[in-house]
Amino acid sequence: MQPLRGVTVVALEQAVAAPYASRQLADLGARVIKVERPGTGDFARAYDTRARGLSSHFVWVNRNKESLTLDIKDPRGAEVLRRLIAGADVFVQNLAPGAAARAGLGAAELRSRHPGLIVCDISGYGAPGPYADRKAYDLMVQAESGLLSVTGTPEEMAKVGVSVSDIAAGMYAYSSILAALLERGRTGRGTHLDVSMLEATVEWMGFPLYYALDGAEPPPRAGAAHATIHPYGPFTAGDGKVVMMAVQNEREWRGFCERFLERPELAGHPDYATNAARNAHRGTLGGIVAARFAELTSAEAIDLLGAVPVANARVNTLDEVWAHPQLAARGRLHEVPTPVGPVPALAPPGPTGGAPRMEAVPAPGEHTRAVLGELGLSAEDIEALVADGVV
C-alpha cells in the first residue's frame, strides 16, 4: 500500500524529528531524497554502533530513502539543491535556527519561486518568539514543556526513555504534510508548515495541564504507577516478576475486589468506593493489593486479572518485544537491507493491504551520482564535484 507513489520529498534533515517525519512519507511510497553532509553524513549516523555496527537512531528513521551528499555552502552545491527542490513536492528541513533562511531556503523565498511547493520547517521552538534562536534537543524540550515535572518518582524527575519530543514533532510534521498534499490536490497551491517540538510536546501534555488548571496541584510523579488513578501500575508477584494492571471504572473495581482480591466487602468501603477515594487512600489500598500479588506467581496473577477482566501486562525486555507474539501474529516483523546486511524492522502502523515498503537504509551518498545524473549533470561534471568535495 503506497498511496504516496509519485510524490518527491527533498529532506535537508538531521537527528530524529525531520528524518522520522520523512520516513513515514517514504514508508507510504514517497521518494525521499535525504541531503547529507559530504564525508560524515547526518551526524546521527555517529550516535552509536549498536545496530550491527550502524547507529540505532539512524537505522530506525532512515529506511526507504536515497542519500545525496552535498555541501550547500558551496555555490555549486547550493545550485544542485535548488534544482532538486524545483522538482519536488515537499521540502523538509530541521537545520539549526535560521540556517535554512541564511542559505536562501526560507519558506517565503522558496514558495515565491515554487507556489505548489509544501515547505515544512521543524525546529525546537518555532519562530518568531523569544526562544526562536535557541538550540533544542529532546531533553531540553521535555524540560521546557513540563513533561519532566510530571515524570519520574516523588524523589526524582526522569527523562522519558525515548525521544518523545522529536517523535511528537515528527508525527505532527508527517500528518500536516499529508493534509497539505490533500489541500494542494484541491487548490494547486502549496503551503508553509512550521512545526515546533515544544508545541508538539505541550499538546501531549493536555491532561496534566488541565488537571493543574488555575493553580491547582499538579499530578504527582508516581513512577510507573498512574498519578491519579488507583490501583493502576506495577505490582510484584510472589515469584519476583512485575505485573502491570489497571482498574479504570467502578464495574472493574467491583470485579477486582470479588475475583482477584477475594474481598468483595472492599468494593463499597467508603475509602475505596470511588477512584477519587482510592487515590486519596492509595497508601493503604496499595498495601492490600501488593499483599495479594505476593501470594501469587506472575502467571497466576495475570490469569486472575484476565478473568475479572482487568487490563494487565507483562513488563517486557527489549528482546521480548522483538519476539512479541502479537507483533508476529499481525505480520509486523520484517527485515530491511542496510550497508552491513539486513536488520529487523517493524512495519508502519495502520496499512494492512499488501507488503509494506521495506527498502534499504542508505550508505552516506549512496545515490549521489544517480540523483545528479537525473538533474542532467554530465559524468565529467559529477566527477569534478566529487573531486572538489562538493558532493
**Which residues are the active-site residues?**
166
Question: Cα–Cα distance between 64 and 32 in angstroms, integer?
Answer: 8
Taking CA atoms, 328 is separated from 306, 317, 320, 333, 356, in Å, by 22, 16, 12, 6, 14
Q: What does the DSSP 8-state code read for residue 357?
A: P
Question: Cα–Cα distance between 197 and 211 in angstroms, integer?
Answer: 22
Cell numbers at 68, concatenated: 545525496
Question: Cα–Cα distance between 104 and 77 in angstroms, integer?
Answer: 13
Q: In what order do the strands lie in the sheet with 191-196?
A: 65-69, 31-36, 8-12, 90-93, 118-123, 191-196
Sequence length of the chain is: 391
- 22 within 8 A of 33, measured Cβ to Cβ: no
- 295 within 8 A of 302, measured Cβ to Cβ: no
- 94 within 8 A of 126, measured Cβ to Cβ: no
Question: Cα–Cα distance between 137 and 179 in angstroms, integer?
Answer: 27
Question: Cα–Cα distance between 267 and 100 in angstroms, integer?
Answer: 61
CA atoms within 13 A on the CB side of 233: 18
Instruction: Give residues with Cβ within 8 angstroms of 314, minimum separation 6.
Output: 241, 243, 244, 298, 302, 320
Cell numbers at 239, concatenated: 515469584
